[in-house]
Structure 1
Amino acid sequence: MRTERVAVTDGEFDLHVWTPEGGRGPGLLLIQEIFGVGAYIQDVAEGLARDGFVVAAPDVFWRLAPGWAVVHTPEKVQRSLELAARFDEDKGLADLRAALAHLRRLPEVDGRAGTLGFCFGGTMAYRLAAAERMDAAVSFYGSGVPAMLDLLDRIEAPLQLHFGGSDPYIARDRVAAVERAVAGRSHVEIHVQEDGGHAFHNHRAPMFHQPGPAARAWEQAERFLSRHLPR
């Protein structure tokens, strides 16, 4: 892993980059949870790099708490939620667009690029897909997605959405609204793990992780990325 700097109008932020063993491949912008680019996101990035992607994870909270990366305790959850509440999504989206452009310019990237985000990052991946042309986008339990269904008409890239049917942060009826909104859109997939709570894929967080839903959803994500960003 190496760290590069991305310049924007009001400063610059870290972009952590992982490259595949083959040295070259499609780019994948990995967008953090509210817990930052910590051990879990790094684990995901390393796995995706082993699968042949050039992975870049930006420090999205750089204006509020540069280098934020915390363990998943109730106290840190509360602090992370406070940071997320203060986060300027429009500036954050501009940062992600700059990070995606930087990723595309890396010499290891073969010209293709997509995005994948979890929780907070799932919402931002969805917003980024509506703002930028890309080859694929994957959003895991983005709590903001149900309130942004108007953005679907702007998303041209293949899009895969994941939710937990038992998520205390995203009510099942809100997930059902997303299911209705994407019905008939051939480029959009939605997968609901009915037994899944929030952040079920996060194997570094015992308070959230659910191995069954995690394995099923990740297999679906891997198949989706293999179709739209083949290595």
Structure 2
Amino acid sequence: MATNTEIPTLDHDGMIPAYVAEPEGTPRGAIIVQQEIFGVDPGIRKKANEWAAKGYLAVAPDTFWRQKPGIELSPYDEGEFQQAINHMMSHDFDLGIRDIEAVIHWVRREKGVEKVGLVGFCMGGKIAYMTAARTDIDASVGYYGVMIDQMLGEKHAIAKPLMLHIPMADHFVDAATQKVIHEGLDDHPKVTLYDYEGLDHGFAAEIGARRDEAGAELADGRTAAFFAEHLG
């Protein structure tokens, strides 16, 4: 199991496993690294370690801990991919946001870091949007988020900056859905949308064939600048 920390839930009825990467010296801020459907896998841990190297406290909570803690599944194995989809379908997203809120509280209370951001991927992109709408997180970034078009009714509650990276050739989020997202959010003063022509879902994955190096570097550079502006 890759996690190295446990964080109490809001109701203190359980402990959320999390991978924590500490920076050298005083953190400039904290970033919650929200997993894809595949678990806190080597790619997510790599992202957390890279944020720590940039001076942030990085925390990657295990989203599916109530179902099966410690999963690490492959997007390239058909059976494991289906397991990951099943975990997502069974996940209670409302309860999951309460877990994210618990992580935010833990970072501020136990680690003494006031400014907290979240970056999420795939399912985590949806969670980034939900976190922006439902918590007091300081800044959020979502990569190739799914089902955001179904949550536009919550956009009025987004009070802190949110950035969304949208690959235009995403085989999980078609062009019509992307159009709905743009129509719903383009005029929102706290939301920034970036389109990536020709890129598919997973283009910023750290490991594997889904990664597009140029697209990942462009999006990750925008994310780093965004957090530097809003977290320090």
TM-score (norm 2): 0.92
Return 5+ residue gaps in structure 1 as ranges.
Answer: none
Gapped regions of structure 2 (runs ≥ 5): none
State yes or no: 1:70 paired with 2:73. yes
Letter aligned with residue 216 of structure 1: L
Question: Residue 26 of structure 2 corresponds to which residue in structure 1?
Answer: 23
SS at match of 2:48: helix
Q: Does 1:104 align with 2:108?
A: yes
Give the Cα–Cα distance (whole angstroms) in 2 for the partners of residues 216 and 82 of structure 1.
32
Cα offset for 1:108? 5.0
1:142 maps to 145
Looking at structure 2, the residues matched to 113 and 5 of structure 1 have their Cα atoms a distance apart, in angstroms, of 16
1:136/1:229 contact within 8 Å kept: yes
The one of 218, 221, 224 equivalent to 2:220 is 218
How far apart, CA to CA, are the structure 1 residues paired with 2:108 and 2:92?
24
CA contact (8 A) 1:195 1:213 kept: no
Which stretches of structure 1, 4 residues or more, deviate above 3 A after TM superposition?
7-10
**Which string of whole-angstrom CA distances, capped at 9 and with x for unpartnered residues, describes residues 171-192 of structure 1?**
1121121112122223210011
| Cα distance in structure 2, aligned partners of 1:104 and 1:93 | 17
Separation in structure 2 between the aligned mates of residue 7 and residue 135 of structure 1, nearest angstrom:
20
CA contact (8 A) 1:23 1:108 kept: no
Stretch of structure 1 that moved more, 212-221 or 9-18: 9-18
Residue 91 of structure 1, aligned match among 88, 95, 100: 95
CA distances 1:121-143 after superposition (whole Å, capped 9, x unpaired): 11112111111112211011110
CA distance in 2, matches of 1:203, 1:37: 12
Give how far 1:24 is off.
Answer: 2.3
Q: Which amino acid counterpart does residue 169 of structure 2 have in structure 1?
A: S
Offset of residue 2 of structure 1: 4.1
> C-alpha offsets along residues 139-198 of structure 1, whole Å, 9 cap, x if unaligned?
111102111111111010011011110000001121121112122223210011111100
Residue 5 of structure 2 aligns with which residue? Answer: 3
- Per the TM alignment, residue 31 of structure 1 is displaced from its structure 2 partner at its CA by 0.8
Partner of 1:172: 175
Residue pair 1:36, 1:60 contacting (<8 A) in 2 also: yes
* Structure 2 partner of 1:12: 15
Query: Which SS does the other structure have where 2:58 is aligned?
Result: strand
In structure 2, do the counterparts of structure 1 residues 50 and 108 end up closer, same or farther at CA, with 3 Å as the change threshold?
farther
**Partner residue of 1:82 out of 65, 81, 86:** 86
Shift of 1:68: 1.2
The one of 26, 51, 55 aligned to 2:54 = 51
Cα distance in 2 for residues equivalent to 1:63 and 1:196: 33
Hey, what's the Cα distance between the residues in 1 that align with 2:156 and 2:132? 11
Distance in 1, Cα, partners of 2:4 & 2:108: 16
The answer as to whether partners of 1:29 and 1:103 remain within 8 angstroms in 2 is no
Rounded to whole Å, the distance in 2 between the matches of 1:44 and 1:108 is: 22
The two structures have a TM-score, normalised by structure 1, of 0.93
118, 124, 129: which one aligns with 1:115:
118
Q: Does 1:39 align with 2:50?
A: no
Alpha-carbon distance in structure 2 between the residues aligned to 1:133 and 1:77:
33
